[in-house]
Structure 1
Amino acid sequence: MASDNESDAELDENYYTFLNLPRNATTEQINSAYRKQSRIYHPDKHTDPDSKKKAEIMFNRTKRAYEVLSDPHQRAIYDSVGEKGLKTEGWEIVHRTRTPAEIREEYERLAQAAAERRLQQRTNPRGNITINVNATEIFTPYDDSEMPRVEIGSMSIAQSIEAPITRKDMIVMSGNLYSSNGTGTGGFMVAGRRLLNKGWMEVCLGAGNGFLLGFKGGRTLTSKLTLNGGTNMSFQENGVIPAVFSTLAVQLDKHTVGSLTLNAGPHSSMSTQIDHSNDQHAISTSFVIGTPHVYFGLSYTRKMLENELKLKLATKVGTFGFVGEYGVEKKVSKYSSVIATVSVGVPSGVILKLKIIRSNQSYVFPIHLSDEIVPAAIFYASVTPIIAWFFVKKTIMDPMEADRKNIEVERSKRQNEQRLAAKKMEAMAAIHLMQSTYNRIISEEQKRKGLIIKRAIYGCVTDDSSQFKPEASHDVTVPIQCLVRDGTLQLYESSKSDLPGFFDPSLGDDKILRIEYTHNDVLKLVNIKDNEPLRLPG
């Protein structure tokens, strides 16, 4: 099975370009383009067996492009996520009208579900490593005569493995270790999870600080109401300690979810939380009443999707004191993110938290800089991650990204080698089928001294842009002339490689289209970039 990256590298069909249509083409334009190309490629128009076979290939492509663009639902999916969206199983929107943003959201949900299913077909590990660093002596030295000490205060490791047994049953094994000041604790748990109609249930057994037996479950009560809950019993030397917990979640509107959580046990609490999230912002409020503290929390996240960046502000105020946080999250690859957060509070002081997320693994490094609010500690906590980021980006990440792109281009070339060869054969077949149309249009344009294409070349040019590279270019005079209608040539803003009679001679490289033409018997020359629109005569 191909990986996600491999799937992304596959060539995508551009139906608009193939029919030489703008992205906002009307139904009338789509029908007209289909009729024009059908007159060239319909198998019934050709009697020669070889020509008929070539016509069948081109007509099937024409028919497929027309079927997608003439169907409002398929066209909406195609416009939002491309041809891959039409191949995605499980669409729930084919017979509904949704906005492009909703279609993309639905596609991403389905794609994520498919990716999760592929992951669950294998053992799916999840892990967290946290290393707490004590660096308070840097800003409040214990002894000025000695170098300030930076030491690891504690470390914790948690790991879980999900092993699907059937489509509805799963075994989850998890363990954790914690070490601080030379002493450590740990635990191990095995859980069996089963999916039910509109819900799930789980039974777990654990060992560590005594034996643990637990039961959890959840159910979707209505389209907007979900209930999760459970109980566990911890068997310890001083007796059995029970605990009960439950969460009721309500979908308040399209972007807002509210929840009420109750915990009864050694650390009893009641909390309510409201989360609101859209493409630009996320706001979360929480109020917790429990032992040993009562507090109110508020957080705001600004999503800058174009930069794959999130800016976060948060605060908590309660009987423990107060804490304020500000930070940034940057997505550095498809599965990786880095997070830097500065926490300032009483009595916690100043803490810089660095977090690296890689797939389902996370590595957290809280660095305690001072026990009190020291301006120097706040300044260096804010500036150091920025300097470190730019240094790592320029010296490590940018070169790695350039290498990765080169590798992807080469892999894409290898992956699509067969398809590119087929596209080249189709282009040659299309040119062969265009001959009669080409001769007719040339005759018509000559009579009116209209637009006559003397020569058209598509491909890569040399460094000085004066000559085309022979191995990375091809003649497209016939296809370009066949696109002339009543003395006018109109090309739209998309790669020309998807036009009939065209193919990509050098995948991943920059290409141009050079047209030498006459209009009113005046010879002219024009060069355009691959995605540049063109209208002749200009």
Structure 2
Amino acid sequence: MDIDSDEENVVEEDFYSFLNVPKEATKEEINNAYRRLSRMYHPDKHIDPALKAKAEIMFNKTKRAYEDPHKRAIYDSLGTKGLETEGWEIVQRTKTPAEIRAEYEQLAEERAERKKKQATNPTGNITIAVNATDLFNPYDDELYDDEFENDFISNMPNIEVSSMQFTQSVDFPLTQKDTCTLSGQLQTQNGTGGGGVNLSWRHIFSHKSWTEVELTAGSGPAISFKGFRTLTKRFFWNGGTILQFTPEGIRPGIMSTLAMQIDKHSVGYVSYHGGIRSLFSTQIIRDTENNRYNFSIQVGLPHSFVLVQYTRKMMNQELKLKIAVKAGTFGGVVEYGAEKKISKHSNLSFAVVCGVPAGVKLKIRLTRASQTYSFPIHLCEEIMPAPIFYATVVPLVVYIVVKKGLVEPLLKEEKSKKVEKQKQDNYNKLLEKRREAMAAQELMMATYNRIREEENNKKGLVIIKAIYGRIVAGPSNQGDIEMSNEVIDVTVPIQCLVKDSKLVIHDRTKSELPGFFDPALGEEKMLHIIYNYHDQPHEVTVADNEPLRLPKTSHRTNVT
């Protein structure tokens, strides 16, 4: 959970959750939900003055959730802030929901354009190559004098930075369809280097096509023209030409790529680059939820090769495992590694490269937002077991030590501070929500007793116990659960949701259901229910936004 502003700290009401209907609910479904709540909360249903006052509060909230289609269109687009925002007086009540949405989209586009003009979208890449081959292939200089042979300093391995490269770019949005980009590159290797600067202008005609003109200065001026076009539903093309001005004359170049959507998860590419270096390549990429395959063949200059790559995506652990084999005129390479998401905006990856004649390399890369930091380390000029072992094990050990000893404590402390701030910002509102939930449960008692008696008589769906909040552990064999103090009893409101021995809760936060409130703001919450159906005990635990349907055979327990 990231809390970036006071506005994001404010807890908003979820009217769909309050009515317990999906966002795409029909008008009839909303009407039925409104009538069901009105029967419980209408002030005329209660005689006691205290209950009548509470009923008026809940009935007003019910009416607020049940708005006409005009306000629903605004709510769907903006949430509760849209209903409270000044400036919507221009929205006439005679307008249809479609017209309101169109007007909102126009306002949103204007805001997006203003925001785009303020954004520069800086991106950067820093690559520092390290030569550490002296660790495993020490240079033996027989010319050293004896007095230096026992010198500790002179016998230390020589580790040096062999090359560095820096690139940076910024965008200058002109309109919604026109963007200028200024970028620069600087590189140095073995004491010599160079650089360049690029200025490009891109115009987007539609989501199907764009064109770009780029000017380059540095290692000789150049101008290039690029374009993209969607040809059919399955085919698209991008390509262009470049003219490089040199003392020998103008050197033209051309590049073209034709892509085909083979199926839902697979894309094929055929590319040609012509000019000083000509090459032809074909590539097939299959990308699914858990796997990614890449098969490539390239013929031309500077090298011809075949590449096979596989990536295993472990989404629950936010981890990717990669392996690749590449062979061609340059030799052969085997590469394996992993990429881990370490925060919302940061990824850390490492890879071990073993090849002939490259030797053994360790590649470390940190991506933070739009900035990339790469550290390729050349460990050995030959394939040897020792550098392979250390290149594989050391990054894992360092990652675990840093993660457990530094990163996790810092993230935990940061999260605690954000949660505490959110609680403080919403303190009064949370108290109001709690009073509202208690009042709602009190008003539900007549309905609760009636539904429970009806379900008991026909051996239907009877809620024995329902708890909502920060549950520490899952259910035990005895039907008990280990839980924190941040939980509330929601047996009454859950039973009131039962209709014809069935209960359906949609995939929205349960904290906005009538009789509920959020007892653990900022924490992961769960709903735990113990119920009987046909006199058989059942038990289930679901996450806050997870949909729920009762009864189910899979919920049946062994308790007799």
SS of the residue corresponding to residue 39 of structure 1 reads: helix
SS of the residue corresponding to residue 410 of structure 2 reads: helix
Kindly provide the CA deviation profile for residues 299-329 of structure 1, in whole angstroms up to 9, marking residues without a partner as x.
Answer: 1111111111111111111111111111111
Give 1:395's aligned amino acid. Answer: G
Instruction: Tell me what 1:504 maps to.
Output: 518
Instruction: Tell me what 1:183 maps to.
Output: 192
Question: Is the CA contact (8 Å cut-off) linking 2:202 and 2:213 kept in structure 1?
Answer: yes
Question: Is the CA contact (8 Å cut-off) linking 2:16 and 2:65 kept in structure 1?
Answer: no
Kindly provide the CA deviation profile for residues 482-510 of structure 1, in whole angstroms up to 9, marking residues without a partner as x.
Answer: 67999x99898998744423323442469
Question: Is the CA contact (8 Å cut-off) linking 1:192 and 1:203 kept in structure 2?
Answer: yes
> How many matched pairs?
483
Using the TM superposition, give the Cα deviation of residue 206 of structure 1 relative to its aligned residue in structure 2, in angstroms: 1.8
SS of the residue corresponding to residue 387 of structure 1 reads: helix
Using the TM superposition, give the Cα deviation of residue 392 of structure 1 relative to its aligned residue in structure 2, in angstroms: 1.0
The runs of 5 or more residues in structure 1 that have no matched partner are 23-27, 69-76, 85-113, 516-526
Q: TM-score, normalised by structure 2?
A: 0.70
Using the TM superposition, give the Cα deviation of residue 133 of structure 1 relative to its aligned residue in structure 2, in angstroms: 0.3
Q: Distance in 2 between matches of 1:359 and 1:203?
A: 27
Question: Aligned in 2, Cα 1:63/1:134: closer, same or farther, shift over 3 Å?
Answer: same
Q: Distance in 2 between matches of 1:513 and 1:263?
A: 59
Instruction: Tell me what 2:163 maps to.
Output: 154
Question: Aligned in 2, Cα 1:20/1:365: closer, same or farther, shift over 3 Å?
Answer: same
Question: Is the CA contact (8 Å cut-off) linking 1:294 and 1:319 kept in structure 2?
Answer: yes
Instruction: Tell me what 1:123 maps to.
Output: 120
Q: Is 1:423 aligned to 2:433, yes or no?
A: yes
Q: Distance in 2 between matches of 1:203 and 1:437?
A: 70
SS of the residue corresponding to residue 279 of structure 1 reads: coil
SS of the residue corresponding to residue 296 of structure 1 reads: strand
Using the TM superposition, give the Cα deviation of residue 83 of structure 1 relative to its aligned residue in structure 2, in angstroms: 12
Question: Is the CA contact (8 Å cut-off) linking 1:273 and 1:287 kept in structure 2?
Answer: yes
Question: Is the CA contact (8 Å cut-off) linking 1:350 and 1:368 kept in structure 2?
Answer: yes
Question: Is the CA contact (8 Å cut-off) linking 1:354 and 1:364 kept in structure 2?
Answer: yes
Q: Distance in 2 between matches of 1:170 and 1:211?
A: 22
Q: Distance in 1 between matches of 2:451 and 2:286?
A: 60
Q: Distance in 1 between matches of 2:112 and 2:339?
A: 23
Instruction: Tell me what 2:374 maps to.
Output: 364
Using the TM superposition, give the Cα deviation of residue 298 of structure 1 relative to its aligned residue in structure 2, in angstroms: 1.2
Instruction: Tell me what 2:408 maps to.
Output: 398
Instruction: Tell me what 1:133 maps to.
Output: 130
Give 2:36's aligned amino acid. Answer: K
The runs of 5 or more residues in structure 2 that have no matched partner are 23-27, 82-110, 142-148, 150-154, 472-480, 530-538, 552-558
Q: Distance in 2 between matches of 1:378 and 1:514?
A: 50
Larger mean CA deviation between 435-444 and 266-275 belongs to 435-444
SS of the residue corresponding to residue 262 of structure 1 reads: strand
Question: Is the CA contact (8 Å cut-off) linking 2:132 and 2:379 kept in structure 1?
Answer: yes
Question: Aligned in 2, Cα 1:269/1:493: closer, same or farther, shift over 3 Å?
Answer: closer
Kindly provide the CA deviation profile for residues 31-55 of structure 1, in whole angstroms up to 9, marking residues without a partner as x.
Answer: 9876533311357868979854641
Kindly provide the CA deviation profile for residues 390-422 of structure 1, in whole angstroms up to 9, marking residues without a partner as x.
Answer: 111111111122113213322432454465355
Instruction: Tell me what 1:245 maps to.
Output: 255
Using the TM superposition, give the Cα deviation of residue 235 of structure 1 relative to its aligned residue in structure 2, in angstroms: 1.6
- Aligned ranges 1:225-264 → 2 under 5 Å: 225-264=235-274
Question: Aligned in 2, Cα 1:373/1:12: closer, same or farther, shift over 3 Å?
Answer: farther
Instruction: Tell me what 2:59 maps to.
Output: 55
Using the TM superposition, give the Cα deviation of residue 220 of structure 1 relative to its aligned residue in structure 2, in angstroms: 1.2
Instruction: Tell me what 1:39 maps to.
Output: 39
SS of the residue corresponding to residue 172 of structure 2 reads: strand
Question: Aligned in 2, Cα 1:493/1:124: closer, same or farther, shift over 3 Å?
Answer: closer
Kindly provide the CA deviation profile for residues 354-374 of structure 1, in whole angstroms up to 9, marking residues without a partner as x.
Answer: 000111110000000111111
Q: Is 1:173 aligned to 2:156, yes or no?
A: no
Kindly provide the CA deviation profile for residues 435-464 of structure 1, in whole angstroms up to 9, marking residues without a partner as x.
Answer: 76578789999999xx999x9998899xxx
RMSD over aligned CA atoms reads 5.3
Instruction: Tell me what 2:88 maps to.
Output: none
- Aligned ranges 1:76-225 → 2 under 5 Å: 121-143=118-140, 145=149, 146-197=155-206, 198-225=208-235
Question: Is the CA contact (8 Å cut-off) linking 1:42 and 1:59 kept in structure 2?
Answer: no
Kindly provide the CA deviation profile for residues 123-148 of structure 1, in whole angstroms up to 9, marking residues without a partner as x.
Answer: 10111100010011111100384221
Give 1:154's aligned amino acid. Answer: S
Larger mean CA deviation between 126-135 and 396-405 belongs to 396-405
SS of the residue corresponding to residue 391 of structure 2 reads: helix
Q: Distance in 2 between matches of 1:402 and 1:378?
A: 35
Q: Distance in 2 between matches of 1:156 and 1:363?
A: 10
Question: Aligned in 2, Cα 1:156/1:483: closer, same or farther, shift over 3 Å?
Answer: closer
Q: Is 1:355 aligned to 2:359, yes or no?
A: no
- Aligned ranges 1:283-302 → 2 under 5 Å: 283-302=293-312
Instruction: Tell me what 1:317 maps to.
Output: 327
Q: Distance in 1 between matches of 2:414 and 2:393?
A: 29
Using the TM superposition, give the Cα deviation of residue 254 of structure 1 relative to its aligned residue in structure 2, in angstroms: 0.9
Instruction: Tell me what 2:102 maps to.
Output: none
Q: Distance in 2 between matches of 1:154 and 1:279?
A: 37
Q: Distance in 1 between matches of 2:343 and 2:482?
A: 38
Q: TM-score, normalised by structure 1?
A: 0.73
Q: Distance in 2 between matches of 1:116 and 1:478?
A: 49
Q: Is 1:305 aligned to 2:308, yes or no?
A: no
- Aligned ranges 1:453-492 → 2 under 5 Å: none
SS of the residue corresponding to residue 518 of structure 2 reads: coil
Give 2:158's aligned amino acid. Answer: R
Equivalent in 339, 342, 346 of residue 336 of structure 1: 346
Question: Is the CA contact (8 Å cut-off) linking 1:177 and 1:186 kept in structure 2?
Answer: yes
Q: Give aligned-pair identity as a percent.
A: 46
Question: Aligned in 2, Cα 1:9/1:284: closer, same or farther, shift over 3 Å?
Answer: farther
Q: Distance in 1 between matches of 2:210 and 2:482?
A: 67
Equivalent in 369, 384, 389 of residue 374 of structure 1: 384
Q: Distance in 2 between matches of 1:204 and 1:263?
A: 18
Instruction: Tell me what 1:104 maps to.
Output: none
Q: Distance in 2 between matches of 1:233 and 1:398?
A: 52
SS of the residue corresponding to residue 262 of structure 2 reads: strand
Kindly provide the CA deviation profile for residues 329-377 of structure 1, in whole angstroms up to 9, marking residues without a partner as x.
Answer: 1111121101101111111111110000111110000000111111211
